[in-house]
Structure 1
Amino acid sequence: MRVAMHQPHYLPWLGLIDKVDRCDLFIVLDHVQFERKGWQNRNYVASKDGPLLLTAAVVQRSRDERILDKALDDSQPWREKHRRAIAEHCYRAAPYWKDYASSILELYETPWQGLTDLAMASTRLILDAFGIDTPILYSSEMGEFPGQKSELLAQLCAKVGATTMLSGDGARGYVDLEVFRRYGVDVEWQNFQHPEYPQHNRANAEFLPRMAALDMLLNVGPGGIETLRAARSSEVDE
């Protein structure tokens, strides 16, 4: 059984969607520390002028706060800013805007309390649209795990009976393969290949990669999942 894991991300990029699509079970690492200036509460969307960064405001308390405890800061007008950026500035004329407008706007009308709720709602919107039905578990609901870093990931794999962990290439520098071997788990590297596709507001301009997956959905529609899969390759670490 192949498992993948990642922190919850608001407006996830295609690399995360690809990871969920390729595994038998996806674990949301919501009990780990929130990363300030990380990507858990922000991502880019594509405008005619280039990448536009959207950041969901969060309440800043302790630096040790877990993601699952991170509250949204609605004293700041981030919801309306994001709604207008997506609905009026970036995607109003996108080919599939009308198909998904109500679901997207609902993200900004729902009174989410926590970042995890918002992040996973935005992620499930994309997964559902692309027809990805991989089962999802939350690490916070799986029990207590004393390990850190590779030990923690290997323990989570062992908990669910995984034989392989699919890992993003950015983790090559810190994933300890020996730890996973001790738990009887192979590590497979995602080796994500970003597909190119038409971006309606980028005519005659350079393609913008690494945007929120919303960009592909609104430009290509549900068939975008086949474009994503066609770009795929992988390798197994022996």
Structure 2
Amino acid sequence: MHKKVAVLQSNYIPWKGYFDLIASVDAFVFYDDVQYTRRDWRNRNKVKTAQGEHWLTVPVKNKGRFEQLINEVEVSDPGWAEQHWKTIAMSYRRAPCFAEMEGKVRAIYEQAAKLSLLSQINQHLISALCPLLGISTRLYRSEDLGRADGKNERLIHLCQALGASDYLSGPAASCYLDQAAFAAAGLGLDYMSYDGYPVYPQLHGEFLHGVSVIDLLFNTGSDAAAFLQRRPA
């Protein structure tokens, strides 16, 4: 039986490519029992505003906690969600599909505001946004699936725990994944491509692919899933 799995750390309201990766597999694993990396995509992402690109950052406690895992990171300011929503609403209120998506995305943020761990927030947001993008992939957490030692060994273990036949990796991991180890475990190894996404009507100047997926949702609404379809060059 063919079953493709992807494994990736949770990010804060990630870009459309992250959701395309989820949509491209049968099972997706949030890989949050690994070390937290600062100034990364774990707790921040970009939206477009009338003044240009703007970072939305979830404030977290990391002073003196250099070894903490992603799923141990705590939020330091419980008012972050309300502040982020105000910025989002102000930036996208003139978007074609803001009225269609406002209530749904606002409700997702109201739920996220009640959570105290970054991993919980990220996983909640991603899980809740998937249906708005037409994605029904099963989502799992790595800490629920057991572990093995070693980068490649851990990923192979997670694939085997889910009965996978193939592993779909992000392109950046090609520098450390051991194809022979995956082959020895009976797993196919493929790499995701993020090339060929179509542009869509976007507010605030020059088109940018790399902003949060909420930009896509507010600009295209129920048609958003069509813009996750990559087109050959």
Match of 1:23 in 2: 25
Aligned to 2:95: 94
TM-aligned CA distance change 1:108 to 1:226, over 3 Å: closer
CA offsets, 1:191-221, max 9 Å, x none?
Answer: 112331110x23xx32112100111111011
Query: 1:228 and 1:160 mapped to 2: Cα distance?
Result: 25
Aligned partner of 1:196 in structure 2 is 199
Query: What residue in structure 2 maps to residue 58 of structure 1?
Result: 60
The answer on 1:71 being equivalent to 2:77 is no
Equivalent-residue separation in structure 2 for 1:148 and 1:56 (angstroms): 30
Q: Report deviation, 1:167.
A: 0.9
> Partner letter of residue 154 of structure 1?
I
Number of matched pairs: 227
1:224 partnered with 2:224: yes
- Alpha-carbon RMSD across the aligned residues, in angstroms, is 1.7
Which stretch shows the higher mean deviation, 211-220 or 121-130?
Answer: 121-130
| Amino acid in structure 1 at the alignment position of 2:92 | Y
Could you tell me which residue of structure 2 aligns to residue 178 of structure 1? Answer: 180
C-alpha contact 1:192 1:232 (8 A) present in aligned 2: no
| TM-score between the two structures when normalised by the length of structure 1 | 0.89
Identity of aligned residues (%): 30
Distance 1:24 1:108 in 2: 27
Aligned residue in 2 for 1:206: 206
Rate the CA distance shift 1:131–1:82 in 2: closer, same or farther, 3 A: same
CA 22–71 in structure 1, closer or farther in 2 if over 3 Å, else same: same
Distance in 1, matches of 2:85 and 2:41, equals 19
TM-score by length of 2: 0.91
Greater mean alpha carbon deviation, residues 97-106 or residues 33-42:
97-106
1:56 CA drift (Å):
0.4
* Structure 2 counterpart of 1:135, from 113, 135, 138: 138
Secondary structure at the residue paired with 1:222? helix
Tell me whether 1:121 sits opposite 2:121 in the alignment: no
Counterpart secondary structure, 2:48: strand
1:52-89 per-position Cα deviation (integer Å, ceiling 9, x unaligned): 111101111421111111111116x533331221011x
Q: Which residues in structure 2 correspond to 1:101-116 (within 5 Å)?
A: 101-109=102-110, 110-116=113-119
Q: Would you say the 8 A contact 2:109–2:125 is kept in 1?
A: no
8 Å CA contact retained: 1:155, 1:183 = no
User: In structure 2, what residue type is equivalent to 1:116?
Assistant: S
Say which SS state the counterpart of residue 172 (structure 1) adopts: helix
Q: CA deviation at 1:108?
A: 4.0
Q: Deviations over 1:119-148 (max 9, x none)?
A: 1222123211012110111001112x1322
Deviates more, 1:224-233 or 1:189-198: 224-233
Residue identity matched to 2:160: A
Which letter maps to 1:99?
Answer: E
Offset at residue 100 of structure 1 (A): 2.1
> CA separation in 2, counterparts of 1:161 and 1:49?
48
Q: Is the 8 A contact 1:107 1:118 kept in 2?
A: no
1:125-175 Cα distance to aligned partner (Å, 9 max, x none): 3211012110111001112x1322222111111121111111111111111
Classify the secondary structure of the residue corresponding to 1:157: helix
Would the aligned equivalents of 2:194 and 2:230 in 1 still touch at CA under 8 Å?
no
Contact 2:14 2:213 in 1 (8 A): yes
For structure 2, the 5+ residue unaligned runs are none
Name the residue aligned to 2:161. Answer: 159
SS of aligned partner of 1:223: helix
1:127, 1:69 → 2: CA distance? 24
2:101 partner amino acid: Y
Residue among 145, 148, 157 paired with 2:150: 148
| 1:232 Cα deviation from its structure 2 partner | 6.8
Counterpart code for 2:167: M
